[in-house]
């Protein structure tokens, strides 16, 4: 049991093999523990066999219900969602006299089944049946709420849920190292993408003191390394970002995960301006991808051709990037039960690569169109790192003050030494114009639209304000710049570098 709680699932199975049970109850307990470990290492068929082979040994009510719970969970894990849920719900109906924690654990497994079907309200209803005094089962329920929030693209709520799960685990009688590892992984992703520094400091502290030695923790450790490298890259800590990407690559147990880590390394080198090193990594990436049958990839792994296509496009190989996009499109679309199904991030990620490819081809108009759509999606869901990247490129392409408020506000969340700040200063001098800095949000927006050539009536319609209100705002902007009319304003903005000639 200690091996199972510490995340050493392979070790747990090995120890179970060494035990010689001396009574029927021990046979039952060994089978249940073995099934739990098998489920954690993604072997549901073996778990079903283990539980079924000794079903008669589960003599007590609690043991019998636990066996049925593990059987139902195994069917859910192998993709037989409805069948697994039916087993679990029958077990829950039969459990009014069982230990409350066992009833809570059955409810937790029911929630997992409905989550896999993306029936999120039913999943939440099942989680409501988990008692707050159910120790680590309650902590796991909080973690499940985090994944449900992610499925709804509510990343602020997800951050709260995963943080609560880890803090709840700290107060549990038992400790589940796998649960903490999963929480650290989820929070590292959210902190990196949301540019959430307080959450990142929490993750960094927990990750540094965490014991990652168990075999069952390799996958979450890999992803923590990937997302940590993103944080360090944004903060301007290039050497640390490269080190963590390299550590993740060393942890990768498959060629697919190694490709993901290499894509991360390529992105860091590109951001640091290491053009030749970037091109060398991309060349090796393409060769490695040629050895992978992308039609067999599932879940998040399906994004690999997309990630490689992005880096190939940044190298200027438009034809090669488009061929990789064709390979990406040839994959089977995610089913309704996968994490990517109906996820707005998937559409935005594809559009971002389309933008990079159009950019590399010199089609600035098409690139601008795609970047704009990417920005809107990532801004809406709160993925500020990617929204900022899109916004910065829009400014570079247009040479105007698009999205000025967003860029300015978001840059304040990151380190002064971030390369993104330098990129913004280089291509968006208006961010540091003293007059623009004193304008209100609505005044900045009106200034941008005036610089785009929009009339007072067009601005009023776009902003949902009266024409007189916009006329008054334009007057305040003119006054701030010390000019009398629009032509003079445009000349002043050109002089200050707020808009391009």
DSSP for 293-360 reads: -GGG--GGGGGHHHHHHHHHHHTT-HHHHHHHHHHHHTSPPPPTTSTTTT-HHHHHHHHHHHHHHHHH
Dihedral over alpha carbons 316, 319, 322, 327 (to 10 degrees) = -120
Q: Residues near 446 by Cβ (< 8 Å), separated by ≥ 6?
A: 459, 463, 470, 473, 474, 477
Structure tokens at 468: 């007189």
CA dihedral 369, 372, 378, 380 (to 10 degrees): -120
- Supply 320's token pair: 């090669």
**Nearest CA-CA partner of 39 in 162, 216, 196, 215:** 216
Cα(166)–Cα(468) distance, integer angstroms: 54
Neighbours of 427 (CB within 10 A): 16
Close Cβ partners of 337 (under 8 Å, ≥ 6 residues apart):
79, 81, 116, 117, 118
Distance CA 292, CA 253 (A): 15
Give the per-residue pLDDT at 334.
Answer: 60
| Distance from C-alpha of 489 to C-alpha of 267, rounded to nearest angstrom | 40
Length of the chain as a residue count: 501
pLDDT at 58: 65
C-alpha to C-alpha distance for 243 and 311, rounded to whole angstroms: 19
Res 416: pLDDT = 83
- What per-residue confidence (pLDDT) applies to 337? 47
What pLDDT is attached to residue 430? Answer: 58
Q: What separation in angstroms does the CA of 259 have from each of 247, 252, 308, 311? A: 13, 9, 8, 12
pLDDT for residue 361 = 95
The alpha-helical segments, DSSP class H, found in 94-135 are 100-116, 120-127
DSSP assignment letter at 412: T
In degrees, rounded to 5, the angle at the alpha carbon of residue 136 between the alpha carbons of residues 130 and 139 is: 65
What's the token pair of residue 222? Answer: 């890999």
The candidate with the shortest Cα–Cα distance to 256, out of 215, 196, 299, 195, is 299
The structure's pTM equals 0.82
HSE, CB side, 13 Å, CA atoms: give it for residue 284: 14
The distance of Cα 455 from the centroid of its chain, to the nearest Å, equals 41
For the chain, the distance separating the N- and C-terminal CA atoms, rounded to the nearest angstrom, is 70
What kind and span of H or E run contains 167?
helix 155-170
pLDDT (tens, 9 = 90+) of the chain, 501 residues, equals 788 777 788 888 888 888 887 777 888 888 888 998 899 888 999 999 988 877 656 667 788 889 999 999 999 999 999 999 999 999 999 988 888 999 999 999 999 999 999 999 999 999 999 999 999 999 999 999 999 999 999 999 999 999 999 999 999 988 888 999 999 999 999 999 999 999 999 999 999 999 998 888 899 999 999 999 999 999 999 999 999 999 999 999 888 999 999 999 999 999 999 999 999 999 999 999 999 888 888 888 889 999 999 999 999 999 999 999 999 998 876 644 455 557 899 999 999 999 999 999 999 999 999 999 999 999 999 999 999 999 999 888 876 666 777 888 898 899 888 888 888 877 665 556 778 878 887 888 888 888 888 899 999 988 888 999 999 999 999 999 999 999 998 888 888 777 765
CA atoms within 13 Å, Cβ hemisphere of 73: 25
d(CA 1, CA 16): 9
Q: Interior CA angle at 464 toward 460 and 469, to 5°?
A: 50
In CATH, what number does 434-501 get?
Answer: 1.10.10.10
Cα–Cα distance for residue pair 148/345, rounded to 1 Å: 15
Helices (H), 117-154: 120-127, 136-151
> Which of 419, 421, 5 lies closest to 176 in space, CA to CA?
5
Domain ranges in the chain are 1-134, 343-432, 434-501
pLDDT of residue 402: 63
CATH class of 1-134: mainly alpha
Instruction: Write out 61-74 in H/E/C secondary structure.
Output: HHHHHHHHHHHHHH
Judge contact between 35 and 47, C-beta under 8 A.
yes
SS3 409: helix
Residue with tokens 């880590």: 261
Q: What pLDDT is stored for residue 401 in this prediction?
A: 61
**CA–CA distance from 138 to each of 9, 100, 428 (Å)?**
21, 11, 49
Write down the pLDDT at residue 336: 47
Is residue 123 packed enough to be buried (19+ CB in 10 Å), middle (13-18) or exposed (0-12)?
buried
- Say how far apart CA 443 and CA 342 lie, in whole Å: 37
Question: Could you give the CA distance from residue 73 to residue 78 in angstroms, rounded to a whole number?
Answer: 9
Q: Coil, helix or strand for 414?
A: coil
User: What is the structure's pLDDT at 258?
Assistant: 94
């Amino acid at each position: 049991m200690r091996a199972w709680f510490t995340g050493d699932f392979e070790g747990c199975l090995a120890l179970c093999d060494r035990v010689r049970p001396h009574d029927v109850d021990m046979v039952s307990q060994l089978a249940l523990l073995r099934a739990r470990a098998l489920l954690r290492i993604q072997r549901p068929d073996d778990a079903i066999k283990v539980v079924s082979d000794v079903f008669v040994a589960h003599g007590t009510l609690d043991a019998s219900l636990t066996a049925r719970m593990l059987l139902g969970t195994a069917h859910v894990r192998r993709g037989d969602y409805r069948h697994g849920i039916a087993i679990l719900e029958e077990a829950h109906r039969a459990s009014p006299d069982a230990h409350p924690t066992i009833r809570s654990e059955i409810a937790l497994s029911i929630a997992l089944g409905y989550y896999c079907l993306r029936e999120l309200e039913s999943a939440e209803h099942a989680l409501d049946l988990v008692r707050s005094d159910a120790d680590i089962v309650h902590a796991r329920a909080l973690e499940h709420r985090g994944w449900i929030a992610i499925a709804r693209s509510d990343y602020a709520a997800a951050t709260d849920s995963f943080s609560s799960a880890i803090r709840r685990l700290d107060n549990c009688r038992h400790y589940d190292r796998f649960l903490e590892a999963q929480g650290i992984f989820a929070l590292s992703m959210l902190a990196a993408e949301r540019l959430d520094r307080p959450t990142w400091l929490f993750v960094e502290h927990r990750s540094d003191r965490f014991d990652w030695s168990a075999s069952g923790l390799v996958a979450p450790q890999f992803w923590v390394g990937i997302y940590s490298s993103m944080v360090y890259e944004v903060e301007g800590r290039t050497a640390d970002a490269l080190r963590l990407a390299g550590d993740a690559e060393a942890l990768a147990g498959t060629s697919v995960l190694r490709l993901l880590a290499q894509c991360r390394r390529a992105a860091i080198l590109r951001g640091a301006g290491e053009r030749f090193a970037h091109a060398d990594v991309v060349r090796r990436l393409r060769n490695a991808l040629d050895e992978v049958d992308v039609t067999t990839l599932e879940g998040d792994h399906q994004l690999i051709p997309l990630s490689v296509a992005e880096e190939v496009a940044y190298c200027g190989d438009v034809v090669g990037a488009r061929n990789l996009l064709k390979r990406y499109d040839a994959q089977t679309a995610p089913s309704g039960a996968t994490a990517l199904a109906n996820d707005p991030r998937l559409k935005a990620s594809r559009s971002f690569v389309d933008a990079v490819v159009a950019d590399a081809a010199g089609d600035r108009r098409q690139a601008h169109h795609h970047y704009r759509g990417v920005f809107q999606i990532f801004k809406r869901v709160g993925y500020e790192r990617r929204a900022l990247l899109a916004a910065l490129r829009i400014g570079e392409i247009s040479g105007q003050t698009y999205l000025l408020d967003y860029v300015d506000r978001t840059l304040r969340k990151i380190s002064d030494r971030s390369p993104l700040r330098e990129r913004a200063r280089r291509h968006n001098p208006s961010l540091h114009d003293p007059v623009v800095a004193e304008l209100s949000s609505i005044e900045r927006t009106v200034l941008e639209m005036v610089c785009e050539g929009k009339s007072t009536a067009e601005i009023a319609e776009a902003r949902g304000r009266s024409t007189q209100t916009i006329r008054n705002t334009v007057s305040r902007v003119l006054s701030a710049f010390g000019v009398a009319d629009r032509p003079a304003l445009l000349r002043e903005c050109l002089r200050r570098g707020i808009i391009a000639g």
